[in-house]
Amino acid sequence: MSNGPTAIILVGGLGTRLRALYPDRPKALVPIKERPFIAWMLDWLRAHGVERAHLAAGHLAGLLVDWAKELNNPNITVSREPQALGTGGGLLYATQFVPDRELLVLNGDSFLPSLALRDWLAQPLSDELAGVLAVTRIESPGRYGTVEFSEDGRIGAFFEKAERPSGWVNGGVYRLRRSALDGYSEERNFSLETDVFPALAQAGALCAQKTPEPLLDMGTPEGILAMERWLDAHPEFFNVL
């Protein structure tokens, strides 16, 4: 068994923007080039030395449980939220199945392909930090919201979705200490993006990891097409580093 971290992949969302096309499956099982998105993500993690993954499932979780069983891989596990818990609550619920002292967390609907994940994980997390967010710069970041941080990477603020020509956005990959979730209830719906991260930033305990473009988001039909085009153009994406 791998001695590396377990990736907790947040796959509990409703996928409302894709529901008209795929009403019968969770977003993580939506096909990208005829394979479920989550299969691509697991391949990418393995290419960076992360063999173990835990799927924090919610909406239509039973289908993800069945899919994982077919893999017959003990390194891939799944948990089901007892009710909709949000990204923060879903992560907190999943931590009972992952013993790691430091958590590697990924949004289950996007890729940040230029993130040198293996090298990043090899760098120790500073004692004064509760977490680090991978961020990337994009044009017209309106629907994402933006992240403001100082020259040393310390995150100062998160801005709501607004029309801006460009900006740094949350790339959906995080390194968090377990203590980042202290004080939150396991039975409450709460958000990493709007509850946990702003509180950590206000305490000066959150940093940004700059990552080159692109951010590939399969949350819309247009995003799926863009992701498929990118994968076609970059067959080296899954090469072992």
Residue 58 forms part of a structural domain? yes
Residue 237 vs residue 123, higher pLDDT: 123
Asked if residue 163 has pLDDT above 80, the reply is no
Q: If we measure between CA atoms, which residue out of 89, 100, 140, 122 comes closest to residue 209?
A: 122
Domain CATH for 145: 3.90.550.10
What is the domain extent for residue 215? 6-235
Residue 241 forms part of a structural domain? no
pLDDT digits (tens, 9 = 90+) for 79-88: 999 999 999 9
Between CA 158 and CA 168 the distance in angstroms is 10
Please compute, for residue 214, the number of CA atoms within 13 A of its CA located in the half-sphere on the CB side.
Answer: 14
Residue 86 forms part of a structural domain? yes
Q: Provide the whole-model pTM.
A: 0.94
Could you give the number of structural domains in the chain?
1
Residue 30 forms part of a structural domain? yes
Residue 1 forms part of a structural domain? no
